[in-house]
Structure 1
């Protein structure tokens, strides 16, 4: 009789241990191969470096545009830049200028 009482207890413990081991294996697998796991770190670092490079390029482009806007301020516009923009956008030239087309 005593033996029959212990068998369900051992079976219940075996199921509990198996479930606990399964849960630990799933959590370990997720920690290694998940979206923020060990295998994804190198990819994330590569993407971070790529994004930082893009930010540096965009910052340089923003600084160039900011300088160009400052040169085109209506109160004190740069005459060379204004002349360059007139020539390129409106095809305006002075009578004494010679236009050379480069192909």
Structure 2
């Protein structure tokens, strides 16, 4: 009986590790550069910090406006002061008036 013996080839041993390396490099690349990877996470964190600063600015502006409206509507101002604020905000005046605006520091 004749048997045929094959020499063990060196390349046959590298097929499974080569496929494994390809799969691992694919997943490692996408875990760093993908849509949900590390770099995207850093961009998201920077964008979140920017939006939080914008939110703080808008909240402070809203609170200042609410305080201003509360001061105008609580009855503590006289009618002339309320009229002055309305004219300044709406840029209105009567035909016989001269308006001189002063810059108020806030």
Task: Give the structure-1-normalised TM-score.
Answer: 0.59
Partner of 1:66: 66
Work out the CA distance in 2 between the residues paired with 1:66 and 1:101: 24
Work out the CA distance in 2 between the residues paired with 1:99 and 1:41: 55
Partner of 1:39: 39
Aligned 8 A contact 1:86 1:92 in 2: no
How has the CA–CA distance of structure 1 residues 92 and 82 changed in structure 2, closer, same or farther, with 3 Å as cutoff?
farther
Aligned length: 94
- Looking at secondary structure, tell me which structure has more helix per residue: 1
Aligned 8 A contact 1:71 1:81 in 2: no
Work out the CA distance in 2 between the residues paired with 1:35 and 1:71: 49
How has the CA–CA distance of structure 1 residues 101 and 55 changed in structure 2, closer, same or farther, with 3 Å as cutoff?
closer
Query: For 2:36, what is the secondary structure of its paired residue?
Result: coil
> Following TM superposition, by how much is the alpha carbon of 1:101 offset from its aligned partner in structure 2, in angstroms?
6.7
Gaps of 5+ in 2: none
Partner of 2:29: 29
Partner of 1:91: 93
